[in-house]
Structure 1
Amino acid sequence: MQQFPEHLLSGYRNFMSGRYNDERDRYRTLAEAGQNPHTLVVACCDSRAAPETIFDCGPGELFVVRNVANMVPPYEPDGQYHATSAAIEFAVQALKIPNIVIMGHGRCGGIKAALDPDMEPLSPGDFIGKWMGLVRPAADQIQSNDLMTASERQTALERVSIRNSISNLRTFPYVRALEEQGKVLLHGAWFDISTGELWIMDAKTGDFGRPSDRSAAPLEDSEPAA
């Protein structure tokens, strides 16, 4: 019989004796009453950028969708399989979550792949290549900018991708309608893995700034290299 990873079992035992034991009543309430998260976070699969850890949230607070490069595709009711769109539909329509955060991060592997014209498919299906096609037009423009370094180009596309996903969110009729009614708010954020800094997108200008200094110059002019 194949052995389950021991480090996961050890972590589970620590969880049961620690956090679960401390929050036992909360877990029971969530089990009986159901979930009522305050925020939907679309985040990257990257193991270094877990929203629950970054925002120090407990059980039931966040509804998290993770995919390669934290992207939202446009609304396409074509009868195909759309995991991210299905999660958004459930979060907005069923759970009535009022906040949606697209959270990118520095050194994103998916974004790096989108900027590499010589990247070979990892498998015959090239699922990552097709998925990153969502930002291909922006990637081509940024990649052609010889005045930027490789790290600056990656940082730029990580931010542009966040704005692109927010635009795609507005192609969902119910998201657009609820935003216009003030019942849903769309947010962008970027996390620097190396420094722990969180940058927040200004909803009006699209510029990124640190929460402690929202009046700072636009991110592209002032941020550290990713």
Structure 2
Amino acid sequence: MAILLVPGFWLGAWAWDDVAEELRRRGDDVRALTLPGLDPADPRRLEVTLRQQAEAIVEAASEPTVLVSHSGAAAPAYLATDLAPHRFSHAIYVDAAPLPNGFVLIPQLPAASRELPLADWPELEAAGNSLLGLDEAALRRFRERAVSEPASIATAPLELSDSPARLDIPTTIICNSFSAALVRQLRDEGSEPLFAELTRLRADYVDLPTGHWPMWSRPVELAELIHTIAAH
């Protein structure tokens, strides 16, 4: 089974290195993807659209593929399952969820800003992005390798089709900074737009308690979960 790993905001394929290594040790066919707009060598990266990111995911996916997305990558990943549902046998969201039509990840940036840089650590945590489990080496690597997120991605509304095919893809939410019980509660209450789409999907919920970047804080356990889910 092919597994495609897609990192969230500010990250390239390198963010999955430890998890990818663990998956390959278990015999999985793994590829990690740097999304368009997150390659610092691309002079036009700030012009990239969510649809272009989704199309890159579709292009990278052999059939069938287990699609694993982290954090902000949930938007292009879910759009990819909308564009080509037949390519994906399972969708796994890591500390993230499939997003509803029209959802905007960052509703507003400063006027004329074309990109969203990685914030200071206290600001990140204040926004709900837990750094639990990250040591100084991980934080330093994150800071050194982070690429600012294009505003064209961060502030773009997700545009999904009316096709129900994506809703039939088996889905698993790996819950890190939010527990599975809390995600289910927020889903059922309807109080959190981030989880609204989960009412329409066949989703399972798995706990892996840690911070928002489990690929660094608990890579072995995350790889084992992904491997087990992909095998079923």
Q: TM-score per shorter chain, which class?
A: 0.3 to 0.5
TM-score (norm: length of structure 2)? 0.32
TM-score (norm: length of structure 1)? 0.33
Larger radius of gyration: 1
Q: Which has the higher contact order (CA 8 A, sep 6+)?
A: 2
